[in-house]
Chain A
Amino acid sequence: MLRLEKRPSPSRFWQGATPILAVVLTMIAGGLMFAALGKNPFEAIRTIFWDPLFHPQFASYSRPQLLVKAGPLILIAIGLSLGFRAGIWNIGAEGQYIMGALFGAGVGLAFYPADLWFIFPLMVIAGAFGGWIWAMIPAILKTKFNTNEILVSLLMVYIAQNFLSSMSLGLLRNPEGGGFPGSRNLSQYPAASNPELIAGTGMHWGVIAAFMAVIAAYILLQRHILGFHIKLAGQAPRAARYAGVNPTGLVLLCMGISGALAGLAGLFEVSGPAGQISIDFNVGYGFTAIIVAFLGRLNPIGILLAGLLMALTYIGGELAQFMLGLPAAAIQAFQGMLLFFLLAVDLLSNYRIRLAHKKEAI
């Protein structure tokens, strides 16, 4: 019989190895699923993981797209990871992402059609503020009334979505759009647009911000007293209090940072790849980023890699749908498997698997 034995401390080896193991297991289980659907599993796996990077026809386009897709995921996940480490669960990044986009785009559109250098920087500030203020609502409710931030932040997403509908139909609607919902296209308004900085690379300000966030989070967690407080609050809340960590301050700070980063992601997305505020502007980055944060083990470098991997499964998944005729649901199931196996093999870093001796069974 197999028996689980708790490790005294999580195994460093398995902490690093489990994400890779999870990817391998996903490939095997996914391959079986693709085979059951009547597709060649090797071809399908190759299309998802290899073709976006190296296919002669697509790669030159899809490689940069990897950054475009991973940028917002990484930016949001970095913010979330700080809170998650401290045991503060901001599940509403999707809403903060929407509000960041609305605030940022609102500022930009207010200046239309002026061509002033400070419009885009101002939009960036407004975007961060929009996400921050939206995250402050669950944060303050938690610190003042001890509400559950998981529920409140999640429900705030739906409020934000209704704001988004209302704005794309009303205040921010393109006056030259013939009554159709949706704002002006910011990518066609140079002073407010977030273009590809170097053609063919996919690099836009959002991707740069994501990289900067990775570095800043790494330094914060490794070198700064605040990072120590965050980790301590998550691992040993009472010890943290004795060490002088202010729990209220920590909630406000972690929610604030994650909200502001999600807001920034929204702003960079709306002014860049998406181009405009529309009713269905949000496509779930805020929720997917939660997966990315955990896939990356709440570690900044891990999140960077996890974000890129997640982007790869999206883009590769699209290719597989299109080239091989795989149903969209199969790709979603494939992505779901990734998280499932990750959580499942997580067991290995906290437990040893031992063969149980008969003697002990008695």
Chain B
Amino acid sequence: MNRRTLLATAALGLGLAFGSSASAQGMDKVKACFIYVGPIGDLGWTYQHHQGALAVQEEFGDKVEIAYQENVPEGADAERVLTQMALSGCNIIFTTSFGYMDPTNNVAAKFPDIKFEHSTGYKREHPNVSTYNARFYEGRAVQGHIAGKMTKTNKIGYIGSFPIPEVVMGINSYYLHAKKVNPDVQLSVVWAFTWFDPAKEADSAKALIDQGVDVIAAHTDSTAPLAEAAKTNGTVIGFGQASDMADYKPSPRVASIIDNWNPYYIKRVGALLDGTYEQIDSWAGIPEGEVEIGEITDAVPADVKAEAEAMRDAIAAGTYHPFTGPINKQDGTEWLADGAVAPDGDLLGMNFFVEGITGDIPK
């Protein structure tokens, strides 16, 4: 290599370094802000996000300042709160509910230098908007297996929050895996139309129990469904949702899905600090540790527990996908051929029940 090419290479390298540093310069201190749909004490969805925020604080100490706002309604109010956050000097804002999708994108347009991270949505209208979600359906598969084995009435229930793809795929995964181990199983779905409303959630659980359901999974954020199940003297069991809900161990809470946002939040804020931040669409699950299965208690027979843990480990190892064909849609038409694995696109837009589920998705 002669001197001239060496210089040219150096210049090129320098140019590249400068070129990328314009968009990805590290920061000395990051203000990370979080907007929550429920209270941080819901012991479910919002609680777990807040645990993530605290983990970020712990990880980076003085280099990070955390600010948050809880109980923000989805819609016009969210847009105002986000704008105020942006004005107050947040560098990265995590918007942790589906309904913040349009407000997040609207505010992101006005503050191109601030990073926005929207949870569970699909709109990334601006380069500073990233989205992230977790593959909760992987955990639902494990729950479905336990439900199918544990039900005595052959009736299992699911409290749906809103009929959006994320919830529909959870229902389908839960049902498919219950059905696999118990062909007689019937699924009842109740729609609560809320993320967090303990009274409504308790009513939904009651309605299911009145129908003879003895295993309840919930897609809402509070512990109310478990509290209802606890009143039945052990005849009805359920699962911790979003967080471990360990207070209800060993029964009615026999297992749980834990949303562990800590690694993602630490990764993203860390990337902003060291200058490697880029727009992404993240969808991690059990393999990455973003979805965890909480302890399966002794209320579950040892063999069922072993099977459930084997399924979890197979998902973690990447050898099993909860949506593996043959699977038909509710109307009997084929969705996945034998051995086919559901493409992510199908899952993200899922608006149909699988074959065997009775009842309709609200329209």
Q: What is A's interface to B at a CB cutoff of 8 Å?
A: 57-58, 61-62, 65, 68-69, 165-166, 169-170, 178-181, 185, 269, 273-276, 278-281, 283, 315, 318-319, 321-323, 325, 327-329
Contacts and interface: CB of A to CB of B under 8 A. Distances in A.
B73 A283 contact: yes
B343 interface: no
A280 B75 contact: yes
A329 B75 contact: no
B71 interface: yes
A181 B80 contact: no
Interface in B334-363: 348-351, 362-363
Contact of B164 (A180, A274, A319, A329): A180
Contacts of B67: 322-323, 325
Interface of B: 33, 39, 67-77, 79-81, 83-85, 87-88, 98-99, 102, 122, 162-165, 193-194, 348-351, 362-363
A323 B88 CA distance: 8
A315 B83 CA distance: 12
Contacts, number: 93
B52 to A, nearest CB: 17
B349 A275 contact: no
Contacts of B98: 180
A57 B85 CA distance: 11
12 contacts: A57-B87, A165-B193, A166-B363, A179-B349, A179-B350, A181-B164, A185-B102, A279-B193, A280-B194, A322-B67, A323-B67, A327-B70
Contacts of A269: 76
Given A166-B362, A283-B75, 8 more contacts: A61-B83, A180-B98, A180-B164, A274-B75, A280-B74, A281-B75, A315-B80, A322-B69
Nearest to A65: B80
Contact of A278 (B75, B81, B88, B362): B75
B71 A328 contact: yes
B37 to A, nearest CB: 9
Contacts of A315: 80
Contacts of A68: 76, 80
Contacts of A165: 193, 362
B85 to A, nearest CB: 7
A179 B164 contact: yes
A322 B84 contact: yes
A327 B40 CA distance: 9
